[in-house]
Each structure stands twice: as structure tokens, then as C-alpha cells.
Structure 1
Amino acid sequence: MDDLKLMTYIAVGLSFALYIGVAIWARAGSTKDYYVAGGGVHPVVNGMATAADWMSAASFISMAGLISAMGYDGSVYLMGWTGGYVLLAVLLAPYLRKFGKFTVPEFIGDRYYSQTARIVAVVCLIFISFTYVAGQMRGVGIVFSRFLEVEITTGLIIGMGLVFFYAVLGGMKGITYTQVAQYVVLIFAYTIPAIFISLQLTGHLLPQTGLGADLANGQPFLARLNTVVTDLGFANYTTSSKSMIDIVAITFALMAGTAGLPHVIVRFFTVPKVRDARSSAGWALVFIAILYTTAPAVGAMARYNVIATVNTHVAQDKPLLAQEANLKAEDRPEWMKRWEKTGLLKWDDKNGDGLIQHYNDKSKNPEVLAKAEALGYKGNELTVDRDIMVLANPEVAQLPNWVIALVAAGGIAAALSTAAGLLLVISAAISHDLLKGVIAPNISEKSELMAGRAASAVAVLVAGYLGYNPPGFVAEVVAFAFGLACASLFPTILLGIFSKKMNTQGAIAGMLTGLIFTFCYILYFKGIFITPMAENIPANWLFGISPEGIGSVGAILNVVVALIVSRVTPACPDHIQHLVEDIRTPRGAGTAHAH
């Protein structure tokens, strides 16, 4: 066994021993422990657990990959996911915590005095959670397939077993403390390689300042990166190719989607007091900011290093499209060969010259294409999956093996922490909201816990299948989940808190309208379960809004339909209107009581 593989086994093994030890130490003994960790978690600890829950495989693995591939356009993910936390802290968390219920469907069922509304919320929640968990499971598969050098299917099965173990055994209490450990692992795994690479390229210790600094040859890093990508026919790295309406729509869908995500909202039920809900949202932002401010540098430096590996003229002022600039296939580094085994990096010698040509053969710049044709190129020969950029980054930069092993442990921690939180939300929706709340109200606590664990087992199997056959790359799948949350749950929770007049019929009609419209739009353009029926190009989009941003339109439709229907149907009962007033009364320091 080579040194890197051995070190990876040690890093991943030690991190899992830590998580499993914590899960056993803090395992759930009651339904209150299982769903909300007994309601006694310190705000700083809860902030760290929330950060780990939120910074999923999409944040750790895919976001910097998106920024790396899309440049400035990838920043919408950064803005949307961060802004969502502000919405959550200000508009939702304290009020939901004051209401004092375990789950989002429970809030919706009680606020809208309707079991039907609760069931519709459960359906929305399961749609969102499964779409989201598909992205996490793909992340798990990518990490295991590379670092344990196994097939992606084997990696998924290992990951499914581990998620099931500590989600089902520990419940929310076990997950909370496990996620604190996972946060520590993933943040070190993300920032240490970034510091190394920033020092290598720019001499700056902080990647955040390294991004705007000069290279060793005195050229500004971002200016050089722009020159490199445009010379090879790719889009300018620091300018946007999206329309302003699409940028706004995606950012809002991600913001409102974050605020409406059930597995994040439930974290605020785990603190002792209402004011602690606000406090832990603030701490979560601090912990999240460490990774999110590092991501743009990680994405940009990874892109630069990958191009520099296959194009020897990148670090020099020589033409990039030139025969002598291309890497010989026989000289390609070990990291490329290792990633080729996973199928996530591919090299195809189209013109048979034994050199690797990496350029944009679909470029809109005729000069680039004419130059490539004159050199006898037959098209781009290197394909790099954007989801591998963060994981491959330390290998590309030739960092020590222990750093590469640490990144493996961090990637697995990020994917598994969110997957576990999502599975708990799915099991709570089925056992607590459907079974105890609707079907069998008199079920014993023991039977409810058993049903929750059985639901988790089924959810793990479905999530594993979605990870094996995902509807897109990690961050794209997660963006769809956020869009569905934005269009269905977010407006309904918001209207439930701030509108006394909103009634059952309005809420149900709004939720269904938002969910169905958004789901059908994504299905139409992305073909999640069927062959795409339409070309996914901006000219065909409604108002020029992409499937990633359509949740914003779904949310507007939800609110409009809900308001119209509530006006023409029987008014909301007085006791519910008083309940809404009570939720909004600024008695922030009091302990919440279950109604």
C-alpha cells in the first residue's frame, strides 16, 4: 500500500472513530433527545453544529468547483447561501423556536389548524430532502471512489452504512455533537490546503488576501488568470455572462431556500431559550464565513493550477495555444492517473499526437478556434468534473500526503453530516408528523422511535439510489432542493408568522402551486427523471430565469395564490389569530412552551 493511501485510511479512520464515539456517548434516550437533542444545547455549540449541517458536500466539494468553472457567475451560490442565513436568523428562527414544536410540518399543521396542511408540508419536505440528499450521496461516492480507490457504488454503500449508524442510533442529540466534531475536521481540511496554495502562488498566508495579490512574477493573480482562460477560449473569469434577472432570481431562491430548509430550521429547536435561537444563528454565520470567504480563492487557484499542469506556458509570457506548451501524455502526473480511475477526469487523444490539448473547442472567439485548427487540434482532450476541484486541489499543487488525506476526511465529514441531518428530518416527518400526528395519534413513544428508525433505513436506501444515479452535479442538485424549499415551505412559514388572516385553504393552495410549478419547470428543462423535453438555453427560459432560479417565481405564485384563496374562503379562527400575535410578541428571553 502506498503512503498516500495508508495516510488516507488513517485520517478517515480516526475521524470516523471520533464521530462514532461521540454518537454512542450522546445517543438518544427519548423522542425529545431524538428530534431536538433534549432542547439543551449551548448556542455556540449549536452554531458549530448548524454550520456543519449547512456546509454540506455542496459547500465543501462543489461550491469552489462551481466558482472554479464559472468564475464570477459562481458567486451567486456564495451570496445566496450566506444571505439565506440572515433571513433565517431575522425572520424565522426565533418565532418558530417560540412556537415550540419539533418539526416544520407540525408548525404548519398547528398554525393552519389542519391535518391536510400538515400532510402537504410533509410531502414538500420529503421532496426537498430527497433532492438535497441525492447531492450529498453523490459527494460521498466521489470522495470514497477516489481516496479509498474503490468503485463509486462501493463507496456509496460504505457511506450509507455509516450515515445510517449514527443518524439512527444517535438521533438529533448524537448528530448535534457529532456535527461539532465534523465541523472541526472539515474546516481544517478546507483551510489548510488553501493556506499552503496561497503561500505557494502569492506568498500570502490568508487565501482571502492571496486572491487579490500578485504572483511571484509580479503580475496580479486574477489578471493573469483572466488572460490564461480567455487565451484558451474560455469565458472571462471575473465578469458575468448571466442576465441580471437570473442572478437576482438564483440568489433569492438560494436565500429563501436556505431559510426554508427543514433540516436547518429544526436546529433552532435544540437550544434552551428563544434568544439562544438568534444567538446560535449568529454563531453559525461566523463559523460558515471561515469556509465561504476561502472558497473563491480555492476555486480560482485550483483552476489556475489545473491549467498550469497541462499547459507549460501558463507561468510564462508565451502563447498558450502552441504545440510546445502542451503536456506529453506520458509525462502526466500521478494525480491525473489516479483521478482517471474514477472516471471523473478523462483524457482522449483526438488527434493522436500524444499531447494533451486543453482549450474551449466551443469558444465564441473565432481567433482561438482558427489558431487551434491551424495547429491540427481536433478538439478539447481533457475533461475535468467540476466536483473534483477541491478534492484534487492539494494533489495538483503537490502538497504533502497528510494534507491530501485530511481533505479526504473533510470531504466525507461534509457530505455525511448533512446527509445524517436530512435523514433525521425525513424520519421525523414520517414518524412524528404522519404516523403520530395523523394516522395513529395514540402510538407509544417507543413505537414512534422504532418507526422513525425504520423510516431512516428506507430513506438511506432511496438516498443511496439517488446518489448512484443523481440528476446532476452536486451543487446543481442542491440548488434545485433550495428552489423547491423557496417555492413551497418558505412563503407558507413566513405568512404563518406575519399574516393573521392567512387560512388553511390559502396555505395549502399556495404550497401546492409553488411546489408543482417549480418541480415541473425543473423537470422540463433538466429532465431529472426523463429525457429532457426542451433545450436548456436562456432564450427558452421563462423571463430568462434558469431552472436554478425558478423557485423565486414559484414563491411569488405561492404568495399570490395563498392571498387570493384566503380572501374568498372562510376567515382564520380568532384563537389562531391570537396565537400568531403571541408568536410575534417580543418576549425573546422567555423559555418556549409547547402548546
Structure 2
Amino acid sequence: MSELQLYAYIAVFGSFAMYFVIAWWARAGSTSEFYVAGGGIPPIQNGMAIGADWMSAASFISMAGLIAFLGYGGSVFLMGWTGGYVLLAMLLAPYMRKHGKFTVPEFISDRYYSKTARIVAVVCLIIASLTYIIGQMKGVGVAFSRFLEVDYGLGLGIGMAVVWVYAVLGGMKGITYTQIAQYCVLIFAYTVPAIFISLQLTGNPIPQLGLGSTLADGSGVYLLDKLDQVVTELGFKAYTTDSLGSNLNMFAYTMSLMIGTAGLPHIIMRFFTVPTVQAARSSAGYALVFIALLYTVAPAVGAMARLNLTNTITPATNEHLEYAERPQWFKDWEKTGLLKFEDKNSDGKIQYSAHAETNEMVKIDRDIMVLANPAIANLPNWVIALVAAGGLAAALSTAAGLLLAISSSVSHDLMKGVIAPDLSEKKELLASRIVMTMSILLAGYLGLNPPGFAAGTVALAFGLAASSIFPALMMGIFSKRMSGRAAVWGMVSGIGVTMLYVFQHKGVMFIPGTSFLGNMEANWFFGISPNAFGAVGALVNFTVAFIVLKLTGPAPSNIQQLVENFRTPGETSVAHRYQ
């Protein structure tokens, strides 16, 4: 066993042991503890748990990789995901916490006085959550397959088992305290290598400042200027220029991520775990600080990773690395299939460029950038192992939150709320655990066999949430007159048009190898890409809802009074739910 593998086993399984101990200590004994941790989580701890729930494998592993290759265009993820959190904290979470419900579909059911609305919300939630969880499962498989040198499927199975233990046993209570530990692991694992690499490249130990600093080689050249020079010499667009098409597409992409984020049920549920409305607002502020610790470092990580990668493969202009002399990290990632070289001219050298006919680096998966960056920079093995533990913590924490959102929507919203209203608390708790077990198995299957329309991206999940759940919540809070029938038609129209557009332009349907309306990528609606179409779906949702409202009439007066009650400043009158 190599030194790196030993460190990886210690870091990964040591953190897993900590999660198990916490889960056993904080196991849920009632539905209140299972769904909302008994409503007694202090704001600072809840802020850390929100940070872990928020910073998924997409944030930890994929975001810096996207920024590394998209450059300026990757800023949509920073703006969209953080902006969405601000929207959620200011416009949705306090009002929904005051109303005092366990889940998002339950709130929608009460607000829109309709079981149909509840069922539609559950369906939208499950579609968005399952799509999102695919990315987490991929993150788990990638981290395990590389650092523990096990098969991707086996690594995924180990991750599923870990989530099952602490999510099914502890529910929201166990997940919350586990996520606090996971936040500490992931933020330490993300920032420590960034500090090392920033110091190495620029002499500045603060990555956020290192990104705008001159290189440590004494040349006086700024890091971003050097990166622009290096990538343009290889035929790529300058790193600091836009790479996401038109300004309209960039705006739509940012908006889709922003309002999709604000509509993600597993994040909204976190605000139900605090005792008061004021605590919900406070935990939102703390969470923003904890999230910023990673999100402000990500641009530096992305830029420095791209510079290190390019300088390693192509050490100098017109000089190519001998394939036989490739570094160890290159060989290690080749084994995973996420890095591939093809010697097109049989000269034994690695030619890396933007031109497909001559480029011999035929695959550089963006998801490897954060995980490979410490090894590329020749950092100590314990730092590399720490990154593996951090990536797994990020993926598992979000997967647990998503699985809880799915299980609660089925057991609490469908079974208890619609099918069997007289279901006892004990049977509901058992049903929740059974549903979560089934959800974990389904998530594992999707991780092994991702559907074509969702492979490689979680942006679609945000688009689906943006087009369905967010508008329903916004109209439910800020439009007293909005009726149940109008909201249902809005949700169905929004998510329907978004899914139709995605399937049409991705060239896929539910069956691999089939196309719905053909591959029409050249005919995007006003140049808006499928991953950015959630913003358009949200507009459709709002428009259809207000048209139906105009045709069918407003909500009853008692519902309008309900909306007034939870919009009125002051604490909720339903605190008994959490006692």
C-alpha cells in the first residue's frame, strides 16, 4: 500500500467513523426529530449544517473545475448559487418557518388548499432532487475510485452504505449534526491546499488575494495575465473572456441557478429546524459566512489548477512532454478513465491544444481538477488525502439532505397527507425509513447508470426547481389572491416546458439512444442553452398562473387571511409542532 493510499484510508474512514458516532448519538426518536430535528438547532450550528448541505459535490469538486475551463464564464455558478441563497434567506425561509410546516409540499398544500397542489409539488420535488443526487453519487464514485483505488461501483456502494447508516438512523437530527462535522472536514480540505498552492505560485498565502497577485518567480507578471498567455498560445480563448455565448444566455443561466437554488426543498427544510423565525434569519446570516469561505476561494482554485495543469502538460511553448515521462498523478488519473491521451502522430509526445485534429489530450474530465490539483502541485500526500475526505464529505452531506427531502415528501406528504391521514407517528417514522432506504438504492442505481439528459451536470436540477417550486412559493407568499388551481397549472406548465426543451435539445428521452423531437442544438430559443432554460420555465409558470387566476377567480378569504398571518412580523403561533 502506498503512502498516499494509507493517508487516504485514514482520512476517509476516520471521518466516516466520526459520522457514525454522531449519527448514533443524535438518532431520531420521533417524526419531529426525523423531519426537522425537533426544531431546536441553534442558529450557528444550523448555519454550518446549511453550508454543508449547500456545498455539494458540485460546489466542492465540479465548480472550480468548471471555472478552470470556462474562465470568466464560470462566474455564473458563483453568482447564481450564492445569489439564490440570498433570495431564499430574504424572501422565502422566514415566512415558511413562521408558517411552521415540516416540508415544502405541506406548505404548498396548506397555502393552496389543495391535495392536487401537494401531489404536483411532490412530483416536482422528486424530479429535481433525483436529478441533483446523480451528481453527488458521481462525486462519491470518482473520489473512491481514485484515492482508495477501488472500482467505481464499489466506491459508490460504500458511500450509499455510509449515508444509509446516518440518514436512516438519525433523520434530520442525525443529518444535522453529521453535516456540522462534514462542513468542518470539507472547508478545511478545500482551503488548506488552496493556501499551499497560492503561496507556491504567488507568494501570497490568501488564495483570494493570490488570484490577483503577481507570480512568485519575480517576473512581475500577474497570475491571470500569465494564464491568458498560456491558454491562448494553445489555441484556447483567453481565460478572462466570456465563454457561455450571448449575454442573454449568461443572464438566463445565472437566473436559472439563482431561483432554482432558492427553490431547492432540501435547503428550505433546514430553516424548519430552528426554534424561532429570528433564529431562521440568524442561521441564514451565519450560513452565508460559512458558504463564502469556500465560494470566494473557488475562483483562485480554478485558475491555479488550470495554470498548473497546462504548465505540466506543456512546459513551454513548442515543447511537449514525453508521454513516457508523464508524472505519477497523470498515470493515476488515467487509471480512472477520466484522463485520456491518444498519440495521434505517434511521436510519443503529448500535444495539448484547442484544435481537435491535433489535440492528443482527448479527455480531461473537469471533475478531476480540484482532486488532482494538490498532486499536480506536488503537495504532501496528507494534503491530497485530505481533499479526498473533503470531496466525500461534500457529496455525502448533500446526498443525505436530498434523500431526506425525497423520503419526507413520500411518507409525510403523500402517505400521511393524502393516502392515509390516520397513519400513526410510529408507522409514519417506519415508512420514512423504508422510503429513504428505497431512495438510496434508486440514487445508487442512477449513479451507476445516469440518464443521458442529466449526466455530468446538476444545472438541470436547478432549472427544474426554478421552473416549478420557486414560482409557487413566491406567489404563495406575496400574492394573497393566488388560487390553488392557478398554482397547479403554473407548476405543471413550468416544469413541463422546461423538461420538453431539455429533452429536445439534449437529443435524448428516457430511453438511451432515442430522441424526442430530434437534436436541435443549433436552434436554441433566443440562444438560451438547455441548462439555462429554467429561467424561461419560471416565466411560463408565473404567466400561466396569473392567466388562470384571472379566468377562475382568487383564493378564498380564509386563505388570504392565512397569508396575512405568516407575512405579519412576529414569531409563529405554531411552536407546539416542535415541542
Give yes or no for TM over 0.5. yes
Task: State how far apart, in whole Å, the 2-side matches of 1:18 and 1:235 are.
Answer: 45
Task: State how far apart, in whole Å, the 2-side matches of 1:122 and 1:81 are.
Answer: 23
After superposition, give the CA deviation of every residue in 1:111-144 in whole Å (9 maximum; x if it has no partner): 1001111000000000011000011001111111
Q: Which residue of 2 aligns with 1:390?
A: 370
Q: Which residue of 2 aligns with 1:235?
A: 237
Q: Which residue of 2 aligns with 1:267?
A: 270
Q: Which residue of 2 aligns with 1:253?
A: 256
Q: Which residue of 1 aligns with 2:326?
A: 332
8 Å Cα contact 1:515-1:554 kept in structure 2: yes
- Over 3 Å counting, the alpha-carbon distance change for 1:12 and 1:474 in structure 2 is farther
After superposition, give the CA deviation of every residue in 1:229-263 in whole Å (9 maximum; x if it has no partner): 01101111001032111111111111111110000
SS of the equivalent of 1:586 reads coil
How far 1:504 moved relative to its partner?
A: 1.0
Question: Is 1:220 aligned to residue 222 of structure 2?
Answer: yes
8 Å Cα contact 1:125-1:262 kept in structure 2: yes
How far 1:587 moved relative to its partner?
A: 1.4
How far 1:378 moved relative to its partner?
A: 3.9
For structure 2, the 5+ residue unaligned runs are none
How far 1:12 moved relative to its partner?
A: 0.5
Amino acid at match of 1:483: G
SS of the equivalent of 1:399 reads coil
Task: State how far apart, in whole Å, the 1-side matches of 2:312 and 2:304 are.
Answer: 12
Q: Which residue of 1 aligns with 2:532?
A: 549
After superposition, give the CA deviation of every residue in 1:194-217 in whole Å (9 maximum; x if it has no partner): 000000000001010111111123
Tell me the TM-score normalized by structure 1.
0.94
Amino acid at match of 2:377: A
How far 1:383 moved relative to its partner?
A: 2.1
After superposition, give the CA deviation of every residue in 1:543-587 in whole Å (9 maximum; x if it has no partner): 111111101010011011111111211431111110001111011
Task: State how far apart, in whole Å, the 1-side matches of 2:518 and 2:332 are.
Answer: 36
Task: State how far apart, in whole Å, the 2-side matches of 1:79 and 1:180 are.
Answer: 25
Question: Is 1:281 aligned to residue 284 of structure 2?
Answer: yes
After superposition, give the CA deviation of every residue in 1:60-85 in whole Å (9 maximum; x if it has no partner): 00000000011111110110000001
How far 1:470 moved relative to its partner?
A: 2.5
Question: Is 1:16 aligned to residue 16 of structure 2?
Answer: yes
Task: State how far apart, in whole Å, the 2-side matches of 1:122 and 1:590 are.
Answer: 26
Question: Please, which of 565, 569, 572 is the counterpart of residue 555 of structure 2?
Answer: 572
Aligned length: 571
Task: State how far apart, in whole Å, the 1-side matches of 2:347 and 2:518 are.
Answer: 38
How far 1:227 moved relative to its partner?
A: 0.8
Task: State how far apart, in whole Å, the 2-side matches of 1:65 and 1:14 are.
Answer: 27
After superposition, give the CA deviation of every residue in 1:469-494 in whole Å (9 maximum; x if it has no partner): 22479995311101100000000011
Question: Is 1:457 aligned to residue 437 of structure 2?
Answer: yes
Q: Where does 1:149-548 land on structure 2 (aligned, <5 Å)?
A: 149-215=149-215, 216=217, 217-241=219-243, 242-313=245-316, 320=317, 322=318, 325-362=319-356, 378-471=358-451, 477-526=457-506, 527=508, 529=510, 530-531=512-513, 534-535=518-519, 537=521, 539-548=522-531
Task: State how far apart, in whole Å, the 2-side matches of 1:333 and 1:473 are.
Answer: 35
SS of the equivalent of 1:341 reads helix
SS of the equivalent of 2:421 reads coil
Task: State how far apart, in whole Å, the 2-side matches of 1:168 and 1:492 are.
Answer: 30
Comparing 57-66 with 145-154, greater Cα deviation is found at 145-154
After superposition, give the CA deviation of every residue in 1:345-376 in whole Å (9 maximum; x if it has no partner): 111111111101111114xxxxxxxxxxxxxx
Task: State how far apart, in whole Å, the 2-side matches of 1:407 and 1:472 are.
Answer: 29
Task: State how far apart, in whole Å, the 2-side matches of 1:470 and 1:143 are.
Answer: 17
For structure 1, the 5+ residue unaligned runs are 314-319, 363-376
After superposition, give the CA deviation of every residue in 1:12-47 in whole Å (9 maximum; x if it has no partner): 111111111111110001000000000000001000
- Over 3 Å counting, the alpha-carbon distance change for 1:470 and 1:76 in structure 2 is same
SS of the equivalent of 1:477 reads coil
8 Å Cα contact 2:70-2:239 kept in structure 1: yes
Q: Which residue of 1 aligns with 2:136?
A: 136
8 Å Cα contact 2:256-2:463 kept in structure 1: yes
After superposition, give the CA deviation of every residue in 1:88-112 in whole Å (9 maximum; x if it has no partner): 1110000000000000000001110
8 Å Cα contact 1:56-1:136 kept in structure 2: yes
SS of the equivalent of 1:427 reads helix
After superposition, give the CA deviation of every residue in 1:317-358 in whole Å (9 maximum; x if it has no partner): xxx2x2xx1111111011111111110011111111110111
Amino acid at match of 2:278: R
Task: State how far apart, in whole Å, the 2-side matches of 1:243 and 1:494 are.
Answer: 28
After superposition, give the CA deviation of every residue in 1:259-317 in whole Å (9 maximum; x if it has no partner): 1000000000000100111111111110000000000000011011111111111xxxx
8 Å Cα contact 2:168-2:433 kept in structure 1: yes
8 Å Cα contact 2:100-2:574 kept in structure 1: no
How far 1:450 moved relative to its partner?
A: 1.0
| Identical amino acids, percent of aligned pairs | 63
Amino acid at match of 2:37: A
Task: State how far apart, in whole Å, the 2-side matches of 1:253 and 1:50 are.
Answer: 21
Moved over 6 A (4+): 472-475
How far 1:380 moved relative to its partner?
A: 2.9
Amino acid at match of 2:241: T
Task: State how far apart, in whole Å, the 1-side matches of 2:453 and 2:10 are.
Answer: 29
How far 1:588 moved relative to its partner?
A: 4.8
User: In angstroms, what is the RMSD of aligned CA positions?
Assistant: 1.6
Amino acid at match of 1:297: A
Task: State how far apart, in whole Å, the 1-side matches of 2:309 and 2:457 are.
Answer: 25
Amino acid at match of 1:46: N
How far 1:589 moved relative to its partner?
A: 8.0
